[in-house]
Amino acid sequence: AQTVTQSQPEMSVQEAETVTLSCTYDTSESDYYLFWYKQPPSRQMILVIRQEAYKQQNATENRFSVNFQKAAKSFSLKISDSQLGDAAMYFCAYQSLSNTGTASKLTFGTGTRLQVTL
């Protein structure tokens, strides 16, 4: 079974600075997707970014980018020019591309709470 580990329960960043959230995962599969979701105080789960494992290029979405290291099974999220609205819980998630069993489910890490200070 796949597991996702987020070893930083809390992080803090000053407004306009850059912060990196860490995520590692364990899998024996070669094809999968990785995601970062954001959960602000409203509790809504918002997709931040997606990475396909077969792509060597790291995904980017505006101020959000990832550092995907497949061999190391590492998937970190970098937030540049941090804004107050970035304050939230961030979850890393793994999804198998197998067409069997519960493969399509998302397996989540325990989350990292990001504080943004003035």
Residues lying near other proteins in the complex (CB under 8 A) are found at 33, 35, 37, 42-47, 50, 91, 95-99, 101-108, 110-111
16 or 103, CB closer to other proteins? 103
Shortest separation between residue 51's beta carbon and other proteins, angstroms: 11
Please, which residue, 14 or 105, has the CB nearer to other proteins?
A: 105
DSSP one-letter string for 25-47: EE-S-S-EEEEEEEE-TT---EE
Nearer to other proteins, 16 or 47 (CB): 47
Give the integer Cα–Cα distance in Å for 15 and 92.
22
Q: How far is the CB of 88 from other proteins (least distance, A)?
A: 14
